[in-house]
Structures are given as C-alpha cells and as structure tokens.
Amino acid sequence: MLHEESIVKGIEEYLKENDWTFEYDSFHGVFSVEADLTCALGTALVVYQAMEGGFLCYTTIAEEARIQVLPVVSEYLHRANYGLPNGNFELDYDTGAIHFKTYFDCPDGKPTKKQLDDSMTIGLTVFDHYGDGLYEILRGTSMARRLIEEAEEQGGE
C-alpha cells in the first residue's frame, strides 16, 4: 500500500508524545490504538491508515451486529450520521462490523497537531455520545428512532 513516510512519522510522533500504546504495520502504514469509552460499549480500537496526501482514521468497536439486528442498527447509524459535521458511521453488512470514519487531508505532507488531536477524539466522542443507544440495539432491546432522539436531547451532535 502506498503511504507517505512523513505522514507515518507524524502519526507515530503524536502517539508517542501522548503516551498512547500502539501497534504499527509498516507494510500497510497502519497504526492501531486501544482506547476506553465512557459509554456501555467499553472500548474502541482507533486505527490510522496513512495514505499519499492524508490519512484515514477508523474508530471501531469489537462487537458486531448480528444479522437479526442489522436493519435496526443500520437505521440507528443512518439517523446518527445525519448532520454530523466531520466523519460518518459505517456498517459492513457482510460482517456486522461497525466503525466511525474520518479523513484528514495533509497537503503539506505532514499532519498537523490539530488534525491528530481531532482524529483521536472525534470518533471516540461520537461513539461515547451514541454508544449507549447502539449497545441497546445490538442486544435487540429498543427502537432506533427513540434512542437517537434521547441521545440528541442529551446534547452534542
């Protein structure tokens, strides 16, 4: 996979400066960092993928949507996505994997501190905001629309 070494170096420096424990796949230019969530989902994996000209950041959860709840999970994530200013939820219909994706353009060949701060916090913040409702839906206990309304009444997104 093609990736710019200056972007890789910038991500690595940021993670080290902020005392994050991470794994790095040099062939693919991918960093993986485990982070705690404040919602019922517990933890997330933040994955950075360096590319030419920028990087993707995926925040993903370990729990996957079972086929029985895919339609409701999909509705919930689509409702949550509406109006989000930066990034979006994605759902893999084949595996049930759920993640939040953001992209950061690095026209100067190196990510800025703000981009790196945002890349770490945006996905975690969005999962914390919508995670309790998602947790309930993954267990088949509630309706998507009601849970989105509750999350948005609590403020934020």
Confidence of residue 3 (pLDDT cuts 50, 70, 90): confident
pLDDT-based confidence at residue 2 (cuts at 50, 70, 90) = low
Question: Tokens 């100067």 sit at which residue?
Answer: 108
- Give Rg (Cα) of the chain: 16
b/e map 120-135, b = 16+ CB within 10 Å: bebbbbbbbbbbbbbb
Let me know if 78 is exposed, middle or buried by CB neighbors in 10 A (0-12, 13-18, 19+): middle
Domains, the chain, with CATH or none:
5-153 (3.30.1460.70)
Mean pLDDT of the chain: 93
Q: Taking 60 as the threshold, does the pLDDT of residue 157 lie above it?
A: no
CB atoms under 10 Å from CB of 100, counted, come to 26
Comparing 40 with 144, the larger pLDDT belongs to 40
Q: What is the mean pLDDT of the segment spanning 144-150?
A: 83
What confidence tens digit (pLDDT) does each residue in 41-98 have? Answer: 999 999 999 999 999 999 999 999 999 999 999 999 999 999 899 999 999 999 999 9
Mean pLDDT, residues 149-155:
83
pLDDT value of position 149: 87
CA angle 119, 44, 4 (to 5 degrees): 40
Furthest CA-CA distance within the chain: 48
Percent of the chain with pLDDT over 90: 82
